[in-house]
């Protein structure tokens, strides 16, 4: 697991990752590709120590995928059925709900920021014509 965590931390610290969120060694990151500003890789550290990456073609798809994965992680750290069925070590006591709520807020905030930016950019094109 240290290698996976180090890879994602390196991407975040060098500026390669445009967004990242997680808890301890479970991190989700958006890494824009050099091919174009819209294409990205979404990378996440899995509970078993592996890494998963998917390619997205639009910024809204990247933001949505990242938010889904972070929300899934929040559910694993929470106190519901997903958490009970998960192998993810959870924080003790009240920290479970704090970590879960924080991750959900981060996921929602990232999606909201991207939606605002996309709407502003898209509607500006209509105003110019």
Q: How confident is the model at residue 6 (pLDDT cuts 50, 70, 90)?
A: low
**In percent, how much of the chain has pLDDT > 70?**
73
- Say how many Å lie between the first and final Cα of the chain, rounded: 52
Range 49-76 average pLDDT: 88
Q: How confident is the model at residue 68 (pLDDT cuts 50, 70, 90)?
A: very high
Q: How confident is the model at residue 48 (pLDDT cuts 50, 70, 90)?
A: confident
Range 22-33 average pLDDT: 82
* pTM to 2 decimal places: 0.77
> H/E/C letters for each residue in 17-40?
CCEEEEECCEEEEEEECCCCCCCE
Q: How confident is the model at residue 14 (pLDDT cuts 50, 70, 90)?
A: low
Q: How confident is the model at residue 59 (pLDDT cuts 50, 70, 90)?
A: confident
Burial of 86 (0-12, 13-18, 19+ CB in 10 A): middle
The pLDDT mean for the chain works out to 79
pLDDT above 80 for 7 = no
- Alpha helices, DSSP H, located in the chain: 2-13, 59-77, 81-85, 95-128
**In percent, how much of the chain has pLDDT > 90?**
13
pLDDT computed for residue 91 by the predictor = 67
């Amino acid at each position: 697991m240290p290698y996976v965590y180090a890879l994602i931390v390196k991407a975040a610290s060098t500026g390669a990752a445009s967004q990242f969120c997680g808890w301890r060694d479970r991190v989700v990151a958006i890494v824009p590709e050099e091919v174009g500003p819209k294409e990205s890789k979404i990378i996440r550290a899995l509970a078993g120590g592996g890494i998963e990456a998917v390619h997205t073609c639009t910024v809204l798809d990247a933001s949505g995928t990242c938010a889904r994965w972070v929300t899934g992680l929040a559910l694993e750290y929470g106190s519901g059925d997903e958490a009970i069925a998960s192998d993810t070590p959870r924080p003790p006591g009240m920290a479970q709900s704090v970590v879960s709520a924080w991750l959900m807020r981060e996921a929602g905030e990232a999606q909201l920021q991207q939606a605002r930016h996309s709407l502003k950019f898209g509607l500006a094109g209509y105003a110019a014509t």
